[in-house]
Amino acid sequence: MSEWRNFYDRTGEEIGRLKADRPELADLIDFYSKVLDAQKSVRERFDPDTEGKSAPLQPDDVDIDWKLFEELFDRVGALSAERTGRDIPSWSAVTAGDADLPRKLIEGLREGDTPIKDPVVAHLACQTLVPFLEAYAEDLKDSIEDDKWQKSTCPVCGGEPLMGRLHKETGKRELQCQLCRTVWSFKRMECPFCGCDEQKMLRYFYDEDETTYRVEVCDDCKRYLKTVDLRTKNEETGLIAEDLATLHLDVAAEREGYRKGTGSE
């Protein structure tokens, strides 16, 4: 079975188990499981031309099937509207009056900038990019120069990390891309959002009963990143399930005045 199919199937099982353990998250988990199904169906139909391309992707390298993109955006938008009761514009309405918006969306990835002002619509557009960028990442992963990269953004697509993790054996810090799910190495003592490396500005906290997860915070930019310590986990869990399983840490971090680096609402 291909790696990406495996990822979707495993994530579906993981969040299904999470739903049984944490009924209070049922509504959100149902939403993400439908989003995953929609992303998977697009992933099945998208095969990028990566001949001669290597990581990091340049904006001109990215050739999205915008017809498929529109289909997925409208599907994900309808799911979001159904869950929240909020009106979500169709993709054709989002791009109305700015035919250049798709190009700006791709170019903005590298600068961590989006041309879409509404944060909910921007988040849905990111969810829509996922299966396309994942497909590129799968083809380009062997061309990543992980030892040399050491940047806070994804070595394939330029996206920001959704979560961090500490390597099972070495304890080395790794970041995981919110868009293409690539994992890469990063310095232990540096904020991935503002680059601050002053020890007194960086700290982490955790729940006493759950030392596997920590919230790394930066007192310079006031952003945070949830991190999984794989050294204390028997079995590795995928990024999506880890993010959903630790939503209470987002609440705790926000209560302390920190802002999520990136990711789910």
Is 144 a binder of Zn ion (CB under 5 A)?
no
List beta partners, residue 259: 223
Of these, 18, 217, 218, 225, which contacts Zn ion (CB under 5 A)? Answer: 218
CA atoms within 13 Å, Cβ hemisphere of 23: 0
* 109 touches Zn ion (CB under 5 A): no
Cα–Cα distance, 87 to 216 (Å, whole number): 34
Strands 259-260 and 223-229: parallel
Task: Decide whether 95 or 182 has the Cβ nearer to Zn ion.
Answer: 182
Which two structure tokens, joined as six digits, stand for 112? 């961590």
Q: Is residue 88 at the binding interface for Zn ion, with CB under 5 A as the rule?
A: no
Indicate left, alpha or beta for 52 from its phi (over 0: left) and psi (-120 to 50: alpha).
Answer: left
Regarding 175 and contact with Zn ion (CB under 5 A), the answer is: no
Does 157 contact Zn ion by CB under 5 A?
A: yes
Burial of 61 (0-12, 13-18, 19+ CB in 10 A): middle
Among 154, 162, 166, 245, binds Zn ion (CB under 5 A): 154
Taking CB under 5 A as the binding criterion, the range among 47-55, 184-192, 228-236, 238-246 that sits at the site for Zn ion is 184-192
66: Cβ contacts below 8 Å, ≥ 6 apart? 102
Query: With binding defined as CB under 5 A, does residue 196 bind Zn ion?
Result: yes
Question: Does 18 engage in binding with Zn ion (CB under 5 A)?
Answer: no
Nearer to Zn ion, 32 or 193 (CB): 193
**Binding flag, residue 180, Zn ion (CB under 5 A):** yes
Check binding of 194 to Zn ion (CB under 5 A): yes
Interface with Zn ion, residue 183, by CB under 5 A: no
Q: Which of 35, 2, 72 is nearest to 240 (CA)?
A: 35
Question: 29 or 177: whose CB is closer to Zn ion?
Answer: 177
Contacting positions for Zn ion (CB under 5 A)? 154, 156-157, 159, 177, 179-180, 182, 191, 193-194, 196, 218, 220-221
